[in-house]
């Protein structure tokens, strides 16, 4: 696995998020903090670029299904997220102040993540008065590219040697 969510202590991989119960229309929902790691503990120099985080329903679609399958979560863009903070060296913070409501074709754009570094992703579940869903299943979908920079040292002999061929007669420059 390349990009993986960990808890805020970086000790446990997060495969499931359970949001705290909240009342309808809650003004300040709880914020969950996750770390999005690129190849945690590895050294190979792959950088994750052009990262986009989507929310899709349980059918892995951007709309449709039933409320239980996350339709309301996706259609109403009830998941809000931002990238704010980093873990590791050689990585610059996105410092996104505002949350982005993600769902449908709307995604959270996240900055590049070098190998063995993480971005701190904060997410919250917006509650609206018209919510009909009490429980639902939805997924995050990540699209990204990998780029790898590799440096090579090339040694070049700069001694000039010229050879000229005329038919089968070798002229000039010395011997091979």
Task: Tell me whether residue 102 is in a domain.
Answer: yes
**26-83 pLDDT, tens digit each:** 888 999 999 999 999 988 888 999 999 999 998 988 888 888 888 999 999 999 999 9
Which has more pLDDT, 130 or 75? 75
Confidence band, pLDDT 50/70/90 cuts, at residue 158: low
Question: What total of structural domains would you count in the chain?
Answer: 1
The predicted pLDDT at position 159 comes to 55
The predicted pLDDT at position 155 comes to 61
Task: Tell me whether residue 176 is in a domain.
Answer: no
In the block, which residue shows the tokens 């420059």?
173
Per-residue pLDDT at 134 exceeds 70: yes
Which has more pLDDT, 159 or 6? 6
Confidence band, pLDDT 50/70/90 cuts, at residue 175: very low
pTM, two decimal places = 0.80
Per-residue pLDDT at 174 exceeds 50: no
Distance CA 67, CA 79 (A): 14
The predicted pLDDT at position 143 comes to 93
The predicted pLDDT at position 46 comes to 87
Task: Tell me whether residue 140 is in a domain.
Answer: yes
Q: What is the mean pLDDT of the chain?
A: 84
The predicted pLDDT at position 130 comes to 84
Residue 70: domain span: 3-171
Mean pLDDT over 115-133 rounds to 90
Per-residue pLDDT at 128 exceeds 60: yes
Task: Tell me whether residue 134 is in a domain.
Answer: yes
Q: Identify which of 20-24, 48-52, 151-155 has the greatest average pLDDT.
A: 48-52
């Amino acid at each position: 696995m390349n990009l993986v969510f960990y808890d805020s202590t970086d000790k446990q991989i997060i495969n499931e998020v359970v949001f705290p119960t909240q009342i309808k229309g809650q003004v300040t929902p709880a914020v969950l903090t996750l770390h999005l790691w690129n190849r945690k503990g590895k050294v190979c120099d792959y950088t994750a670029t052009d990262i986009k985080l989507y929310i899709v329903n349980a059918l892995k679609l951007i709309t449709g299904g039933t409320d239980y399958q996350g339709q309301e979560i996706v259609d109403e863009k009830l998941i809000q997220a931002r990238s704010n903070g980093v873990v590791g060296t050689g990585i610059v913070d996105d410092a996104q102040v505002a949350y982005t409501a993600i769902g449908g074709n709307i995604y959270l754009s996240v900055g590049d993540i070098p190998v063995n570094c993480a971005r701190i992703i904060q997410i919250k579940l917006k509650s609206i008065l018209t919510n009909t869903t009490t429980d639902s299943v939805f997924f995050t979908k990540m699209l990204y590219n990998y780029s790898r920079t590799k440096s090579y040292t090339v040694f070049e002999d700069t001694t000039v040697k010229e050879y000229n061929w005329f038919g089968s007669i070798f002229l000039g420059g010395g011997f091979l």
